[in-house]
Amino acid sequence: MGIGELARANLTTPAVLAFVLGFIAVKVRSDLRFPPAITTLLSTYLLLAIGLKGGWALADSGMGQLWGPAVATLLLAVSVPFAVFGLLRGVVRYSVADAAALAAHYGSVSAVTFTAAVAFVASAGQPSEGFMPALVALMEIPAILVALALAHRHAGSGSLGAGLREAVTGKSVVLLVGGLIIGMVSGPAGEASIAPLFVVLFPGVLVLFLIDLGILAGEHLSSVRKAGWQLVAFALIAPLVLGLAGVAAGQRLPVWGWVGPPCWVP
């Protein structure tokens, strides 16, 4: 699949078009809105469904394939906050608090982005490995701790203990890890019993969720003008650079099993 065809396939998926619909609804001053309880329910469903599917996949394949990607994930989760913090402090001249907050944001992971990515690669016929939800949960914690440590070192602020508790007990981590464990323990029998809800309905719920995100983006578009061109440029460029770096690393880094030499991912 070429780049143009890939871009077309991505931009014309129901989920992406649903996001555009939500954005347009705000601009034409439609009364389309989701109650906060519905938004919470949709995000809870998606996170739990991703964790469950990851647990079922691990129940089939085992834990041996997880360790290599887990080490790479930890390295990225630690190194990215340092790089972002240094760039924002040294080049953009942001305050310690703002630089640390953005370092945690970019070193951590967006559950929404991950959900959309999982749906996209599945629609392209290249489903992700079952252990990916575990890596999402793993990436959530060290980036936040590194950012808090940087803030504490440079400005004497930020509580590592409170940050660790918030990272570990946050909704995203609890649902992803909890779903992963439930899926692994319940196995194929558990999957068969609840797959109609958490597998078959997943794409449709994602469409509803992205309508809500489109509405949110449309309502807060004016905030972009207040951020300044440096932050807007950084927000546009950083995800592209970090995403390409992650893809390149995934293609080149060795993946270790329990024993034996590394096999290079093509």
Does residue 108 sit in helix, strand or coil? coil
For residue 7, tell me if it sits in a domain.
no
Beta partners for residue 255, in sequence order: 263
Tokens encoding 129: 């490995």
Centre a 10 Å sphere on the Cβ of residue 173 and count the other Cβ atoms it contains: 21
Look at residue 255 in the predicted model and tell me its pLDDT: 43
pLDDT: is 193 or 50 the higher one? 193
Centre a 10 Å sphere on the Cβ of residue 162 and count the other Cβ atoms it contains: 10
Beta partners for residue 263, in sequence order: 255
Backbone angles phi, psi at 251, to 5 degrees: -85, -20
Look at residue 25 in the predicted model and tell me its pLDDT: 95
Look at residue 194 in the predicted model and tell me its pLDDT: 95
How many domains does the chain contain in total?
A: 1
For residue 65, tell me if it sits in a domain.
yes
User: Is the confidence at residue 216, as pLDDT, over 80?
Assistant: yes
For residue 24, tell me if it sits in a domain.
no
Per residue in 220-265, pLDDT (tens digit) is 777 766 666 777 777 777 777 777 776 666 555 544 333 333 333 3
- pLDDT-derived band at 196, boundaries 50, 70, 90: very high
In the chain, the percentage of residues whose pLDDT exceeds 70 is 73
pLDDT: is 25 or 16 the higher one? 25
For residue 13, tell me if it sits in a domain.
no
Which range has highest mean pLDDT (85-99, 103-117, 206-220, 250-264)? Answer: 206-220
Domain that holds residue 85: 35-217+224-258
Output the average pLDDT for the chain. 77
pLDDT: is 156 or 40 the higher one? 40
Look at residue 138 in the predicted model and tell me its pLDDT: 72
- Residues 249, 148, 177, 59: what is their CA dihedral angle, to the nearest 10 degrees? 30
For residue 12, tell me if it sits in a domain.
no
Q: What is the mean pLDDT of residues 55-82?
A: 78
CB-based contacts of 105, cutoff 8 Å, min separation 6: none
Q: What is the pTM of this model?
A: 0.68
For residue 229, tell me if it sits in a domain.
yes
pLDDT: is 57 or 251 the higher one? 57
User: Is the confidence at residue 71, as pLDDT, over 80?
Assistant: yes
Between CA 238 and CA 247 the distance in angstroms is 14
- Rounded to 10 deg, the angle between the 111-123 and 36-61 helix axes is 60
Per residue in 165-185, pLDDT (tens digit) is 666 677 877 888 888 889 889
Look at residue 61 in the predicted model and tell me its pLDDT: 67
Look at residue 219 in the predicted model and tell me its pLDDT: 87
- Rounded to 10 deg, the angle between the 171-195 and 36-61 helix axes is 70
User: Is the confidence at residue 81, as pLDDT, over 70?
Assistant: yes
For residue 21, tell me if it sits in a domain.
no
Q: What is the mean pLDDT of residues 119-148?
A: 73
CB-based contacts of 123, cutoff 8 Å, min separation 6: 9, 13
Look at residue 135 in the predicted model and tell me its pLDDT: 78
Are the beta carbons of 255 and 262 closer than 8 angstroms? yes
For residue 265, tell me if it sits in a domain.
no
